[in-house]
Every structure is written in C-alpha cells, then in structure tokens.
Amino acid sequence: MKLDVLKIDGTPSGKQVELADSVFAVTPNDHAIYLDVVQYLANQRHGNAKTKDRSEIAHSTKKLGRQKGGGGARHGSLKANIFVGGGRVFGPVPRFYHNKLNKKLKKLARVSALSYKAQENAIILLEPFTMEAPKTKEFLQIVTAIKAGDRKVLFVLPQNSDNIFLSSRNLPQVNVITVDEINTYAIMNANSLVLIDGVQDTLAQRNER
C-alpha cells in the first residue's frame, strides 16, 4: 500500500511511502484486539475503592436493648449495616486488576488494529515538523489542512515534542503520543491515524523482532 507524504499545509510533498504488508496488511484478528483492549483498560484501574465493614466501624459494642420483649427486632450492635453510620455489607475492597498478555499476542493485536486503519483508508502520512511555541490555533490549522477529520485523531510522533503536545492538549478530539506509547486501544479509539514520516518504518522494525 502506497501513501503520499503530506506537508503541514495539506499539499503533497512529492514523496511516496510503501507501507509494510507485515504491519499494515495482515488479516486482522478481532479476538486478539479484544484481549489487548481489555488488558489495557483493566491496567488503567487502580482498585483503591474501599468501604468499612462492621468490624472496622468505631462504635460502642454495648447491646442496644434486651434480647426479647422489646417489640421489635433484636439488635446487638450499632455497627450493623441497618443503622446510620454502620458498616457496609459486601462493599468494595482494594484489588489488583492488572493482567498479562503474551508479547506475540499484543504484537498481533497492534498490527491487526493498524491493518484495520489501512483498510479504512484512515492513515495519513505527514512530513516531520516542529513548533517553535505551543500554539493550539496553529496546530488546529494543520489538522484541518491535512483533512484528518473533526472526530478522534491520533498523532504518532517519532519522539516526544513538548510544543506539539501542549498545542494539542486543549483539543479533545486530538490525541498525541510517541511511537513508544502506541497501543491497540489508542489505534482503535481513533477515527483517523496521522503518522509522522519515519514512524511506519519504526513500527515495521519492531514487528520483526
């Protein structure tokens, strides 16, 4: 699959790039994508939610009333869940949500997601550029010029650029990451994928390892 490399003003630079079939033209594996996305979202969870049960509530242990003859239900402690300030029954406790996937499976999921974007013609190659200062307006002009769309756009940079990142931070529809941070969830969550020229070669090299 060949793509034209665009300038930041949206015009062709005159360079064409052949995307590696091993990364952008594989038969997508939906189940691998599903497992990788589930793992990514699970690993974002901290699992810190915690409530106190009746054994942790600071209340008197004195019995409220006599066992029988009170005209109502028998009660032994204010720590019971039916009282205001009592312990919670079956409340959340800290837990570890992280899970592990094999590297080969994660690699298959990533190239499957990239192949889906290639099939949808949702990949744009952009020549390397820099920004002298964080300017959201200028960055938005670039997104508009290359016709990346007004929905979710994923920019993949070869290396970190503070000015580009800061320029995109106020644009909720744009996500800027480096090639080291690329993952299946970010790819599938985007409607269009903008690769800075050279990133596609890095992805192909890492896929061969």
* Inside any domain, residue 58: no
* Inside any domain, residue 166: yes
pLDDT tens track for 21-61: 999 999 999 999 999 999 999 999 999 999 999 999 998 88
Fill in the amino acid letter for 198.
G
- Give the pTM: 0.83
For 167-205, b/e burial (b = at least 16 CB within 10 A) is bbeeeeebbbebbeebbbbbbbebebbbbbbbbbbbbbe
The residue count for the chain: 209
The two structure tokens encoding residue 28: 């997508």
Distance, in Å, from the CA atom of 165 to the CA atom of 162, rounded to the nearest integer, reads 5
* Inside any domain, residue 137: yes
161: CATH = 3.40.1370.10
- Helices 103-119, 30-43: crossing angle, 10 deg rounding: 110
* Inside any domain, residue 97: no
- The secondary structure of the chain as a DSSP string is -EEEEEPTTSSEEEEEEEPPHHHHSS---HHHHHHHHHHHHHHT---------TTT--------S-SSSSSS-----TTSTTSTT-PPTT------------HHHHHHHHHHHHHHHHHTT-EEEE-----SS--HHHHHHHHHHTT--SS-EEEEESS--HHHHHHHTT-TTEEEEETTT--HHHHHT-SEEEEETTHHHHHHHHHH-
For 171, the domain range is 2-27+110-208
Total count of domains within the chain: 1
pLDDT in tens, the chain (209 residues): 889 999 999 999 989 999 999 999 999 999 999 999 999 999 999 999 999 999 999 988 888 888 999 898 998 889 999 999 999 999 999 999 999 999 999 999 999 999 999 999 999 999 999 999 999 999 999 999 999 988 899 999 999 999 999 999 999 999 999 999 999 999 999 999 999 999 999 999 888 87
* Inside any domain, residue 118: yes
* Inside any domain, residue 49: no
* Inside any domain, residue 67: no
* Inside any domain, residue 38: no
Q: Are 90 and 51 in contact (CB under 8 A)?
A: no
